[in-house]
Amino acid sequence: MTDGFKVNSIRKDFPILSQTVNGKPLVYLDNAATSQKPQCVIDSLSNYYQTVNSNVHRGVHTLSQLATDDYEAARSKIRSFINAGSDQEIIYTRGTTESINLVAYSFGVQNIRSGDEIIISGMEHHSNIVPWQLLCEQTGAVLRIIPITDSGELDINQYGALLSDKTKLVSVVHQSNALGTINSVKEITAMAHSLGAVVLVDGAQSAPHMKVDVQDIGCDFFAFSGHKLYGPTGIGVLYGKSEVLDNMVPYQSGGEMIKSVTFDKTIFNVLPHKFEAGTPDIAGAIGLGAAIDYVNDIGLDAINSYESELLAYGTAKLEQIASLRIIGTSSHKGAVLSFTLGDIHPHDIGTILDSEGIAIRTGHHCAQPVMERYGIPATARASMSFYNTKEEIDTLVTGIDRVLEVFS
């Protein structure tokens, strides 16, 4: 085990992990769907509602000023966490899905025309497919797809062949939720920029597990969700380069995102408020800030090293099961193990594992084109986090043996 990584101590910070499910100790291996929350995040939500609950940016009274301070402090933490250039480049959203839609319906509608091309990959989550399909239907643009290799990697040579002066936007996932593959987004971005295209990176699965430096990547947009980063549900982030955001029209309109309104004309607010209409999820933002503090205290390098150990251990264990097939075998991947088990339907696998207290995800993982690529309807997916242990992986293996016994 990684020297100095005190996983047993860390587990005590997550109250939900101490419970039993179906009479068995909970083994939570569904972190790619959502993460569990440390007590400090839970406390931050309670503290907001008990001590400073008030609307932000709109009041001169003390509670409003305190809430605003905490809300904007969280924005600064996010900016530092992904190394954005300024707080103004951090837009609060409800999650990765809304962040991608914001780009599609603000930048996209404003800049994409008939005959233009948008490139995505064959391993995208539906949230990074459907908005671009709708945009293409609306504008007459064409959607191009980067193919996936048998090991679950993007074919970079084919990507290069797809790029042209017609390419206006490239939107790719940083880490696949279905395969675990970590893509070379810095290279992908540089190739797109060489032809004048803008780039969006879906960081929903990468931000909780590795250091993200948006300035080093060079992308124009980066989207991620709070709930996968040990923070609350309903809060997310869109990073955008200020020069790009400045030239975009607002995605939603109403209060907060305006500087002045008359019946003749509306003048929009400055960044980031221009894209934040209405009363925001104040507690959620503060909770995300607390989650970032927690992750930073542990250290993303330590988290990444430990999770890589778990992945290697889990891969070796699962490969010993004769009828089990791992889907996604890239040499560069996060701690995700998607698999099939002979002819046993993944839903049956998940149901039996649940009876043993083991929580995994089964289905197409909102990535149906990935399933089609591998000729399968679904997979069972065990996705790990830094509070998981090798012993829990052993429990998973024992649970899979139980599945095989039931269907023998």
Q: Which amino acid is at 2?
A: T
Q: 93 Cβ partners below 8 Å, 6+ apart?
A: 99, 102, 223, 235, 236, 237, 238
- Reference 212, options 174, 171, 179, 247; nearest CA is 174
Q: 220 Cβ partners below 8 Å, 6+ apart?
A: 198, 199, 200, 240, 241, 244
Would you state the structure tokens that stand for residue 249, as one six-digit string?
């029209």
In whole angstroms, what is the distance from residue 305 CA to residue 299 CA? 10
Q: Are 383 and 32 in contact (CB under 8 A)?
A: yes
In whole angstroms, what is the distance from residue 78 CA to residue 90 CA? 7
Q: Report residue 251 CA to chain centroid gap.
A: 21
Q: Enumerate long-range contacts of 46-53, CB under 8 Å, 24 or more apart.
A: 48/282, 48/283, 48/286, 48/287, 49/283
Q: Are 333 and 310 in contact (CB under 8 A)?
A: no
3-state secondary structure 70-130: HHHHHHHHHHHHHCCCCHHHEEEECCHHHHHHHHHHHHHHHHCCCCCEEEEECCCCHHHCH
Type and span of the H or E element at 298: helix 282-298
Q: Are 84 and 90 in contact (CB under 8 A)?
A: yes
**Burial of 263 per CB tally in 10 Å (0-12, 13-18, 19+):** exposed
Whose tokens are 């503060």? That residue is 286
- Give me the catalytic one of 40, 136, 219, 366: 366
In the residue annotation, 136 being an active-site residue is answered as: no
Q: Are 9 and 339 in contact (CB under 8 A)?
A: no
Whose tokens are 């980067």? That residue is 146
Residues with catalytic roles: 366
